[in-house]
Amino acid sequence: MSALPQFCPTPRELDDLELLATGALAPLTSFTVLSGGPTAGRGASEASLESLISLTLPEDVHAAAEAAGGVELVDPEGLPLARVVVPGGTVEPLTHAQYGPFRDLYLTPAQAREQYAGRTWVPVTDALTEAQVGQVRCLGPVVLVALVGTGTPDLSPVALIRATRLVAQTLPDAAVVAVPLAAHDDPQADHALGVQVLATYAGGDPVVALADDPDGDYADVVADVVAADRPAPDEQGLVLFFTGLSGSGKSTLARALMDKILEQGGRTITSLDGDVVRRNLSAGLTFSKADRETNIRRIGWVAAEISRHGGLAVVSPIAPFDETRQQVRAMVEEAGGAFFLVHVATPLEECERRDRKGLYAKARAGEIPEFTGISSPYEVPEDADVRVDTTGRSIPDALDDVIVALKDAGYLDLPLSTIDEATAPAVEQRAPASVVETPQPGWSSSDERQRGAGVETPLHVLFVCTANICRSPFMELTARHVAGELGAADAIEFRSAGTHGFTDHPMNPEMVVTLQPRGIAGHEEFRSRPLTKAELEWADVVLTAEADHRQFILDDHPALFRKVFTLGQFVESLSGQDDLHGPELLTAVGAHRTTASADLDVADPYRRGPEACERAAAHIESLLRAALAALAPKGSA
Ligand SMILES: Nc1ncnc2c1ncn2[C@@H]1O[C@H](COP(=O)(O)OS(=O)(=O)O)[C@@H](OP(=O)(O)O)[C@H]1O
Ligand SMILES: Nc1ncnc2c1ncn2[C@@H]1O[C@H](COP(=O)(O)OP(=O)(O)O)[C@@H](O)[C@H]1O
């Protein structure tokens, strides 16, 4: 054979090659050679062992291999590892990989038998628990066979070997051997393959599979290895991938998010913006499908490497093709990082209306060929972690969708930008300086607001629900009404806001219906508001519909725990405080509050029909009557 085409196989195929070359798959000595894309190949369920060990060559390489009588397989650095005869698939090893952590533990079956014949052979795919170690201890001299091939171990290969060696050191007579047995997405066939490989290594000695112990404890040293290998989401490398049309807001949101992360500190960030990458890493590439794919794979490769070391990469190319985005996801996950996909889903009409760079006009005029959205496709991602349409929204508001999703996923815990945004205007919006000199979170501000000569400023009550269109507006209007009935209209002021509220939406019409029979006015003037830091500072007490709303606030403002309650919790906490009212009552309730359990929540009636609205209204009204009777100055009714 001469002038064979070269091909670098997938990690799975490289593992299979090593087992074929070392005789670990005996009697199998050849690949089933296939031609085609990554989906070529067998129907998984009825796979024979022969067809499981397949090598898929791209069509052009396959044709060249057929013409030349074979293909030379090289490792990712180009080192020739083996020749494979085509057709037939017989493997002729050229060299073994000489590098990689714990390489000296990768023994062929012949080497392993020479050193360890007569022992019990124990396959290992995860760190051993204390109970499993106890089981091994009863087996006498053992070989722990760490199965480290692609897709097989629960830990990374190197962590599995490290953890297994630590266990072996605690046993009287245990050796460790590493075998790159890969998984082929067919659990049954892979199990059969594993049994065959272990039998080859054991050569007639006993093979013992350990009982599963999914909830077992690890010895401390092993637990440290496992913890380091499976970092908590907020310690994991992370690739934040913004995709969307040109002008959708990818760069703007990515930049704003990076600022937030940098302001918080504690993490390094690398930015790979679409335009910037095209001037550097991808200079010279066009906007053809092939070049776009190359561009995205380059970005993905760099981002994956950053994530491998626990870093954070923020990338914002158009990335119009689903398959390339999936490839990046796979690269990042293979590197041990997390991949978080943000679809900036601003529609084409809005992007074109913005036309910040004048490119859409040129594309429409035919001056730019293959322009995404106009003359080149954009495949909408089905697997986005969050979707943000920026149309008609402020940047902080749109950014908060990303911040909330990142927090929910456990990757990053950043303060909401709409709350930050409110900090500056908050100073002007606060009560006059003569009344409040230095408002503080907690109770000091309301205590300070109590002035001499028996004159008290009104008590400030803030109601909070999700969108500030249903429950919290009902609370605000009803509370004002009930305070009027109690003669406390001047003593207490009410506002409401939503944790995820939009600005200036009217009250939900179904909820409005519940106000009318109660004779409660004011909904025509009502407009929704997002919760801001200013509102929280204004309030002497914050009463939320649900425990989740309370938690949402406390996550960002933990110091406010004595003044944020669910409405139900607040009423429960009133018991035994009959002699107090106003700020003193709030101080006492803050100190003796009950738990904000979810069964005290006011259920969300939004879009659940008129009965649900009436139930919520009745629940809120009874709670408010109890709360306000206690809060209102005594003798005011
Ligand atoms: N034909 C065509 N189609 C789309 N975009 C074009 C094109 N020609 C130039 N531009 C400008 O290049 C930016 C997109 O580059 P990307 O690297 O993000 O694109 S891709 O992911 O490789 O598809 C894109 O920038 P953003 O507006 O930041 O998305 C455009 O400004
Ligand atoms: N809510 C919003 N979020 C992000 N961008 C917005 C928003 N509202 C308006 N814009 C504007 O839209 C444009 C988006 O441009 P850019 O971020 O460069 O998009 P892309 O990187 O997707 O091409 C900017 O001019 C930005 O100010």
Last residue of a domain, one of 370, 386, 409: 409
Q: Is 177 exposed, middle or buried (0-12, 13-18, 19+ CB in 10 A)?
A: buried
Distance of CA 160 to the CA centre of its chain: 25
Reported as a pLDDT band with limits 50, 70 and 90, residue 352 is very high
pTM equals 0.61
Rounded distance between C-alpha atoms, residue 491 and residue 632, angstroms: 7
Token pair of 249, please?
């807001």
Q: Which of 246, 325, 352 to mutate to test the pocket of ligand 1 (most atoms within 8 A of CB)?
A: 246
Q: Residue 417: inside a domain, yes or no?
A: no
Domain of residue 627, CATH code: 3.40.50.2300
Question: Could you identify the atom of ligand 2 that is nearest to the CA of residue 248?
Answer: 22
Whether residue 177 sits in one domain with residue 110: yes
Does a structural domain hold residue 427?
Answer: no
72 and 108 housed in the same domain: no
Binding site per annotation, positions? 244-251
- 540 and 485 share a domain? yes
Is residue 449, in this structure, part of any structural domain at all? no
Specify the pLDDT at position 445.
36
Nearest CA to ligand 1 atom 7: 371
Q: Running DSSP on this structure, what letter comes out for residue 90? A: B
On the question of pLDDT at 270 being above 80, the answer is: yes
Q: Which of 275, 292, 299, 350 to mutate to test the pocket of ligand 1 (most atoms within 8 A of CB)?
A: 275
pLDDT of residue 634: 74
Please classify residue 588 by burial: count the beta carbons closer than 10 Å to its beta carbon, then call 0-12 exposed, 13-18 middle and 19+ buried.
middle
CA of 249 to the centre of ligand 2 (A): 3
List the beta bridge partners of residue 241: 315, 341
For 367, residues 6+ apart whose C-beta sits below 8 A from its C-beta are none
Tell me the average pLDDT across 602-627.
Answer: 95
Span from the CA of 286 to the centroid of ligand 1 (angstroms) = 10
Q: Is residue 446 part of a domain?
A: no
Contact (Cβ atoms closer than 8 angstroms) between residue 295 and residue 352: no
291 and 178 housed in the same domain: no
Average pLDDT, the chain: 89
Residue 468, pLDDT score: 94
Q: What DSSP string describes 558-620?
A: GGGGGTEEEHHHHHHHTTT-TT--HHHHHHHHHHT-----GGGS----TTSHHHHHHHHHHHH
State the pLDDT at residue 225.
Answer: 95
Write out residues with Cβ below 6 Å of ligand 2: 244, 246-253, 316, 344, 354, 356, 390, 393-395, 398
Residues 170 and 250 in one domain: no
In a domain, 44, yes or no: no
Spacing, Cα 275 to ligand 1 middle (Å): 7
The Cα 566–Cα 194 span in angstroms is 56
Q: Do 340 and 219 belong to one domain?
A: no
Query: What pLDDT, on the 0 to 100 scale, is given for residue 444?
Result: 31
Query: Are 255 and 388 in the same domain?
Result: yes
Query: What's the pLDDT at 47?
Result: 61
- Clarify whether residues 242 and 209 are in a common domain: no
Residue 218: domain span: 103-229
- Determine, yes or no, domain membership for 79: yes
Q: Are 178 and 102 in contact (CB under 8 A)?
A: yes
pLDDT digits (tens, 9 = 90+) for 307-351: 998 999 999 999 999 999 999 999 999 898 999 999 999 999 999
CA 107, 110, 115, 120 torsion-angle sign = positive
Check whether residue 493 and residue 366 sit in a common domain: no
- If one counts every other C-beta atom within 10 angstroms of the C-beta of residue 165, the result is 18
> What is the CA(103)–ligand 1 centre distance, in A?
44
Distance (Å) from CA 291 to ligand 1 centroid:
12
Residues belonging to the binding site for ATP are 244-251
Q: In this structure, are 283 and 151 located in the same domain?
A: no
Burial class (CB in 10 A: 0-12, 13-18, 19+), 468: buried
Whether pLDDT at 429 is above 50: no
Co-location of 203 and 286 in the same domain: no
Residues in the chain: 637
Within a domain: 422: no
Stated as kind and residue range, the H or E segment containing 388 is strand 386-388
Rounded-to-integer distance, Cα 34 and Cα 527, Å: 65
* Residue 100 pLDDT exceeds 90: no
Which residues are bridge partners to 313 per DSSP?
Answer: 239, 270
> Which helix or strand (DSSP H or E) is residue 305 part of?
helix 289-308
Query: Is residue 339 assigned to a domain?
Result: yes
End-of-domain residue from the set 392, 409, 426: 409
Count of domains forming the chain: 4
Q: Which ligand is nearest to the CA of 343?
A: 2
ipTM over 0.95: yes
Based on the domain organization, do 199 and 260 belong to the same domain?
Answer: no
CATH number at residue 214: 3.40.50.620
Residue 419 has pLDDT above 90, yes or no: no
Instruction: State in Å: Cα 216 to ligand 1 middle.
Output: 51
**Is the beta carbon of 355 within 6 A of some atom in ligand 1?**
no
Give the domain-ending residue among 183, 199, 229: 229
